[in-house]
Each structure stands twice: as C-alpha cells, then as structure tokens.
C-alpha cells in the first residue's frame, strides 16, 4: 500500500518472467524514454558533425535523460532489486523518509540553495571569458 507507513518487512515480491517490461506494456507512453535516448544520441553525432556544440550538449543531455528514465520506468517500483532474495529489494516506498526528515530537508534547502546559487553565479561571473596567452602574460601573480 503506497499510503501505508514504510515497512520493508511487510512486503512480498513475486519473480515473474518479463516483469521488467510490464510497465512499458501497461503504460505505452513510457516507450518515449528509450526512443529519446536513442534518437538524442544519434542527434548528438549529427550536431557534432555540423559543428554545433551547444545543440550537441543539449542532445547528449537528453540522451542521458532518456536512458536513465528507461531504467527507472522498467524497474519501477524498485530502486535496487535483489537477485538473491527479491523480498529484500529496495522499493520507492521502502526508501522514503519520514515526514519530519522531509520537512527538515525542505527548510535546509530553502535556506542554503540561494546561498549556493549566488556563490556559484558569482564565481562564474568572476571566471568568465576565454583564457588566452595574452591574459596569462598580463597576470602578475608571484609565488
């Protein structure tokens, strides 16, 4: 029961041939993920051949996203299935945290995410621009 408290000891897992693809049969829209992985990988090669580095980066990121989603869709609800004892596999519901833990993580994220983003954007702004031989010769750092 997804609404019940997390208790890994109260679950049962049945081993069924072809079960990893059952989600794709039940939800045909999930086939978009493996298609995205393959098509975006091919598009990455085309973009590289056409000297389009930004498009190649975006398409490679989409390809990686498609591959990861394919695995997630195939394994759901498992995160880490156990081949030795299927009942000991880790599912989405077994891996969930308590309400208090999730609340603390939300508050910490609200506080620290803006700090991290502002520091990272400051560093990127300071370090922007190409490094050329002239810029290295102009810098007079002594050690």
This model's pTM is above 0.85: no
Q: Is the pLDDT of residue 74 over 70?
A: yes
Name which of 38-42, 45-49, 84-88, 113-117 the model is least confident about: 84-88
Under 8 Å between Cβ of 124 and 116: no
Q: Work out the pLDDT band at 123, boundaries 50, 70, 90.
A: very high
Of 51-55, 115-119, 127-131, the range with the lowest mean pLDDT is: 127-131
């Amino acid at each position: 029961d997804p609404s019940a408290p997390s208790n890994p000891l109260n679950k049962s897992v049945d081993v069924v041939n072809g079960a990893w693809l059952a989600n794709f049969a039940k939800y045909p829209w999930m086939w978009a993920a493996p298609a995205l992985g393959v098509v975006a990988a091919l598009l990455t090669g085309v973009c590289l051949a056409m000297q389009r580095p930004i498009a190649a980066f975006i398409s490679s990121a989409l390809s990686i996203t498609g591959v990861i989603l394919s695995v997630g869709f195939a394994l759901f609800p498992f995160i880490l299935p156990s081949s030795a004892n299927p009942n000991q596999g880790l599912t989405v519901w077994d891996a969930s945290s308590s309400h208090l833990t999730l609340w603390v993580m939300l508050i910490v994220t609200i506080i620290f995410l803006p700090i991290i983003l502002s520091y990272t954007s400051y560093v990127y702004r300071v370090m922007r621009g190409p490094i050329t031989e002239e810029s290295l010769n102009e810098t007079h750092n002594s050690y």
